Structure 1
C-alpha cells in the first residue's frame, strides 16, 4: 500500500468515526431539547422504554433487526455498517449521562438547531466514507441504484415517516407529545433531514473505492 493509499484509508476512517460520533451527539442534543426527536429515534426510545434499555441499547437492537433487510436484497454490509450502528449509540448514551436537560426555551431551541445540523453533517460524512451504511441508508441507496427515478431524499422522508408512526403508536400518542418525544421539531426533521443530507452528500467528495453497500456477487 502506497503512502497515498494509506492517507486515503486514514481519511475515510476519520470520516466514518467523526460522522458516526456526531450522529450520537446530535441525538443526545435533540433528546435534551425536548421538542421532538428524529423519527427513527422515536422508535428507538419506544423500544427502550418497553425493554428497559438505554436509548443507545435500543438503537443497536433496532439496527441489528433492520439489518435483516439486507439479506433478501443481497446488500453486503461493511465496516461502516457496524460502526454506524454502535458508535452513535455509545456516544449518545455518554452525552446523555453528562448533559442535563435545560429548562429555558432558548437553550432548548439552540440544542434543537445544533442537533439537527450535526446529525445531517454526521450522516453525510459517514456516507461519504463509503465503508458501509446503516440498513435504512443502505436500502435508500439501493432503491435509488435500481430505480434512478426514485431520489434518495423522498425515499428517506417516507422511511422516516414510517418509523415515526411506529414509535409513536408504541409510546402512546398522548404520552409521546406530553414528554417531548414527538413535537413540532419531529415534523420539521422528518421533512428537512432527507433533502439536507442529500445536499451535503453531493458536496462531500466521496471515495471511489470500497462501496460495500453494492450487491454481493453471484
Structure 2
C-alpha cells in the first residue's frame, strides 16, 4: 500500500525545482521560458568614417559642381599640426589668456575642405556685390532669401543684424562643410574656417 502522506510536500519540492531550472535559463517543455535571457551579442560592424565622408563630399559636389571643379584633386588628408597640445606662452598672463580663450579654437581643415570653403566664400561674396557690397541685401529676410536661393541651408540665428544694423551670417556648407562666416558691408567680408572644437560654426560664448 502506497502512502499519500508526503504527496503535498513532494509537489512543492517538484515545483521549486522547476522554478530554479527556469531561472537558470533551462527550457522546460511547455513552460514558454526563454533559453538564455542574456545571449552573446552578435559581432558589431565597425563604422567606416572615411566612406561616410567620401559619400558626403560626393553629395556636396553634386549640389555645387562649380566648386567641385575648382577643388578637384586637392588632398583630403587631415593636416599634421606641428604644435604640441600644451604649446602655450610661457608668460603667465599670456598663458592665462590663451587658456581662457581655448574654447574659440577651430578644427584644422584639410586642403580639400579649405578649397571648398574658400570657393564658397568667393561665390557668396560675388553674390553680395563684391567687397563694395553694391546692391547687397539690406534686411535679414533679403539676406536669408539670397543664401537659400544659392543652395545653402539657413537655420535659426544663422542670419542676424548687430546693434548698429550691420548684417552678418554663419553657414555650415551642406554635406561636407566647412563653415563660412560673413558680414555685409560695406565692406563685405566673407571667410571660410573650420568648426569650433566645442561644436558648430557659431563662435561659442563663454570662457573663464
Scaled by the length of structure 1, the TM-score of the pair is 0.26
With normalisation by structure 2, the TM-score equals 0.27
The structure number with the bigger radius of gyration is 2
Structure with the bigger percentage of strand: 2
Q: Which has the higher contact order (CA 8 A, sep 6+)?
A: 1
Task: Answer 1 or 2: which has greater helix percent.
Answer: 1
